[in-house]
Amino acid sequence: MHTTVYKDTRFHHNGDFSGDIRIVRDGREMEVPFKDILALVARFVRDERIAVLEQATPREILGLGKEPSP
């Protein structure tokens, strides 16, 4: 079992993040399946990437950088 600490919250988890994660904060505990946390974080990352793409120019989307200056 590994422990990761972020601010005042402790996350107890398997080294390979399989199974449940026990979250401890303010003396309260909760167990959450890692797959649920993975899905939540994946959704956040997807939404952030979509927002960046929606604001990008065609050149930026294609990896060509910013428009050249005139």
Report pLDDT digits (tens) over 16-38.
Answer: 999 999 999 999 999 999 999 99
Report pLDDT digits (tens) over 33-55.
Answer: 999 999 999 999 999 999 999 99
The alpha-helical segments, DSSP class H, found in the chain are 34-55, 58-61
Whole-number Å distance between alpha carbons of 31 and 19: 10
Domain ranges of the chain: 2-61
Look up tokens 């600490």; give the residue: 5
pTM, entire model: 0.73
User: 69: pLDDT confidence band, cut at 50, 70 and 90?
Assistant: confident
